[in-house]
């Protein structure tokens, strides 16, 4: 068996997306729970890969689907392209989640005659780990640095954006930003006990920005 790589993961995700878009599934007929649909696609994709490749299975400790590749799978409806992810640190909003994403964006259509559902995969997008920070947060920070902003400016911005940190941590983050300025992220990340990730911008910019890659796109 071959070892799974990020490159083969993306190419297989494209094949899977096309095949799954043609599949009629009785188990999903009438199902509106996005989490259940997401679990269905994630498990089916993993089983598809297991027939061909060797890879480390994700678990609750790692928190991501392909820990050896540092890639997590996200599944979302095209009608409201968003999902949650574990909150580890406020720094994720500035420096990225710490892993890459493969995002399957689907449109579900129920067939009432045959009592089946079809998940048409409209977009499959790979977002490189360094591009998984918050768009507005990173844009604001980069603008401050380009305009000769200093540590005080960065701390003020961090608190203006309601980043969930105390003063000492904000000071530490500002020092880190000055030493290691973040690249532009493309997610929208809402503050919560779990991060809420929104993908509209990723869908719009896929293929136009470095690190935001179109893996598959439905024609028409």
Residue-wise pLDDT for 79-94, tens only, equals: 999 999 988 999 999 9
Cα-based torsion angle of the residue sequence 133, 183, 138, 209 in order, rounded to the nearest 10 degrees: -80
> How far is Cα 146 from Cα 184, in angstroms, rounded to an integer?
13
Q: pTM for the full model?
A: 0.94
Both structure tokens of 189: 């990340």
Name all domains of the chain by residue range, CATH numbers in brackets: 2-80+98-131+199-217 (3.40.210.20), 136-179 (no CATH)
Confidence (pLDDT) at 193: 67
Task: Decide if pLDDT at 7 tops 90.
Answer: yes
CA atoms within 13 A on the CB side of 214: 13
Which single residue is written with the structure tokens 């095949």? 19
Tens digits of residue pLDDT in 93-148: 999 999 999 999 999 999 999 999 999 999 999 999 999 999 999 999 999 999 99
Supply φ then ψ for residue 74, to 5 degrees: -120, 140
According to DSSP, the β-strands at 71-77 and 82-86 are unpaired
Q: What is the mean pLDDT of residues 9-32?
A: 96
Distance separating alpha carbons of residues 189 and 83, to the nearest angstrom: 10
């Amino acid at each position: 068996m071959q070892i799974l790589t990020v490159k083969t993961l993306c190419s297989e995700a494209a094949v899977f997306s096309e095949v799954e878009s043609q599949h009629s599934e009785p188990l999903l007929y009438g199902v509106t729970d996005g989490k259940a649909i997401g679990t269905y696609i994630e498990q089916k994709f993993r089983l598809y890969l297991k027939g061909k490749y060797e890879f480390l299975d994700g678990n609750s400790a790692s928190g991501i689907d392909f820990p050896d590749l540092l890639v997590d799978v996200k599944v979302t409806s095209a009608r409201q392209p968003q999902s949650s992810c574990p909150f580890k640190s406020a720094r994720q909003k500035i420096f990225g989640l710490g892993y890459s994403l493969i995002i399957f964006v689907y449109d579900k259509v129920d067939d009432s005659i045959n009592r089946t559902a079809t998940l048409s995969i409209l977009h499959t997008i790979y977002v490189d780990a360094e591009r998984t920070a918050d768009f507005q947060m990173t844009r604001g920070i980069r603008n401050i640095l380009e305009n000769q902003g200093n540590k005080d400016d960065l701390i003020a911005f961090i608190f203006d954006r309601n980043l969930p940190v105390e003063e000492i941590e904000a000071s530490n983050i500002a020092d880190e930003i000055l030493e290691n300025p973040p690249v532009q992220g493309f997610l929208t990340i809402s503050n919560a006990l779990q991060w809420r990730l929104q993908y509209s911008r990723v869908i719009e910019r896929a293929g136009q920005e470095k690190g935001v890659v179109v893996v598959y796109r439905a024609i028409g």
